[in-house]
Structure 1
Amino acid sequence: MNRFIVCALTSGAFISISAIIACSTTTRPIGEVVENAPPSFTASDGGDGSTAEAPDAASEVLSYCPSDHCPTEYATCPTSDFPCDVNLLTDPKNCGTCGHACPTSGIGSESYECIDGRCAMVCSSGRFDCDGIPDNGCESSPWDQDSCGKCGVVCSDPTKPCLLQLGTVGKNIKACGCLAGQYCQGQCVDTTTADSNCGGCGQACPRNGDGGTVDPSLHMFYGCSNSECGHIKCESGWADCDGSPANGCETNMLSPNSCGDCNNICADGQFCKKDRSITGYPPQCMCPEGKSFCAYPYDTVSGTCVDFSSDSSNCGGCNVTCAGSVGAAGKCIKGKCKLDCVDGRADCNGNDADGCEVKVDTDPHNCGGCGIVCDAIAGQACVQGRCAVEPCSEVDGGEVVPR
């Protein structure tokens, strides 16, 4: 019996990977006449004494056989579990060739990855390789005066050092000097409102005004406004909602009747808490329908709104984390933790204890999915989740074999 696969493809000798559905597979004894059999392009008598011509190369129909050869970028190495399971372009233990391992660590904060078959240095977050010299690793910090935020940004003016500050798009960035405000005591400040630098660096406002006293229960103090001291201000988390200086800043911004702002009333079923999902943790009416409030650890007045049915950190309840396993990440589905297999892995035995234990990208017994078996007798490899094939040739006797 001979197995062959017939595909309409451009001619050429190469190894390919193919899904079973990509080609029709036929098994029959050689020489058997089969009704509606695939066309044969061997020369034959055309019936009028002429000889039929084979199709041109562009439309040649080739036979394909199971292949035990590896595509160009793949190899079978001493560490292999299966044939052709090593990608020489990306495997850090076999980078470019079998056994050539990239360094596991550098001299500092850098690591190494295999990129296009070569070991490449990768800097960790907050470090740069600005001089291009591998021997000293990722030598630059985003705080350096000659690489402020990125390579090549030099802060040459000592009065305008590299500072972390709020950028124009609302995100913290590093830049030379202050993008807004004035540089005072190592930071950028707005001297029109800064209580410790009112109207200029180092000019602090007395919180009690001109030598007086302030009742602590009023939650107010004297501070800076329009670059001048002596203006009444509210302590953080409090507001003067009635406009009366006699009772100071009387309203707690965590009140359900003035949540984060005067007279912002929370709807029934909601309550006022600090939302830790927003920068600055402002008070918010929490939570919208379909979500539940989970308090931040050790802090009952702040937290986040979560969906117990899908949040993998709060699955079915607060702080219930879905743990991952071998080849799998934890995922919350309808309030219960499940395993979510990463690409190239599958759970074929149904046992959560060993996670997604099968590498369906390379396992010829589970190629592309559980139970999909490549031709073991031919030594057919599984590459990228597909059984490898290559063009076949006919030899004496009509047997179809790999070219």
Structure 2
Amino acid sequence: MRLPTIASTFLAALALAPDAALSGAAHPASPQKTGQIELQVNYCRGNTGLMAHLPGTNQQVILGQNGTGIFYFVVPGTYTLTIEIPGRQPHTIQNVVVQDNTITQVSESFCVDNDGDGYSELEDCNDNNVTINPAAAETCDGVDNNCNAQTDEGCQFCTDADNDGFYAQAGCGSAVDCDDHNATTSPGALEHSCDGKDNDCDGRIDETFDKESDPNHCGACFNVCSFPNAAAVCSNGTCGLASCMPGFSDCDGNPQNGCEAGVSNDPGNCGACGNVCPSGWSCNAGQCTAQCTGDVNCPYQDFCDTTLTCQRDLLDGGACNRNSQCVSANCEFGTCQAACPTGTHRCESGGTCIPDAIPCL
């Protein structure tokens, strides 16, 4: 019977775990069918602090500064190794095949594309910003966008004279300020006043003010619609009369002078436009009223009293007024208590006296 030699056992151990065989380090007992992975990586920023994981197992290896590490007693199969990098996205090595009683050597040189823009950290001057890489267009924002070690090359000089955060030139990293000498005017500002200016730099002027129908800004800022004795309206940017005040009317059709006719007291437009009172008559509360003078006859059934005004002949049975219709007699309870003086009074059918001291001629 042949016994295994110490040499053959040592050589078998050396083949699968050379560092353990030589250093005497303890390793777990090997299953019947296992292999080994010898890993050699070259991370472009150096290998310090790298750790390799074998997913699906509890094995992990801290790589040396030369990028080497060994996984022992790996069950045969196909694996994806994961390389952990401090502060970066992990790097994976796929399709690592392990066979029984075999050493699988894996060598990998790599860099990480942390922002996923297609450029590794060696090429990308900011691998945490996807908009910054060698293929990016340079914009005037104070940043090296295309990783050529230059900033804002080809950009014009950018000015912000009013210090509102918006530049007067395009391509300077902000919307263009349409008035760089006024801090209240900039893109995004409120159209705060009707001033004939583009306050928010949107190419429109006073767009929040209704110059078509606002009587306070009709057709232009602060153009207030106002007419004498009238209410005004703004239509299509033009002022017009809406209505006349009570007692007034627009008789000449000219809106510029408003409702010029006082129809409550205008003898030429008494009560309505064109209603002319007779000569010598007055207009009171929109009604034509006769004036009693020495050369004007009172209307039918009227007479002229001592105050030179025409009075209606009270044949309707109305009562007298105290100390008015009874000049030479007393007016008691609406009735003249004495006979009417001859030639100076009239007496109606109800027995009241009406003064007629100065008859109309």
- TM range, smaller chain: under 0.3
Higher strand share: 1
By relative contact order (CA 8 Å, sep 6+), the higher-ranking structure is 1
TM-score, scaled relative to structure 1: 0.25
**Over alpha carbons, which structure has the higher Rg?**
2
TM-score, scaled relative to structure 2: 0.27
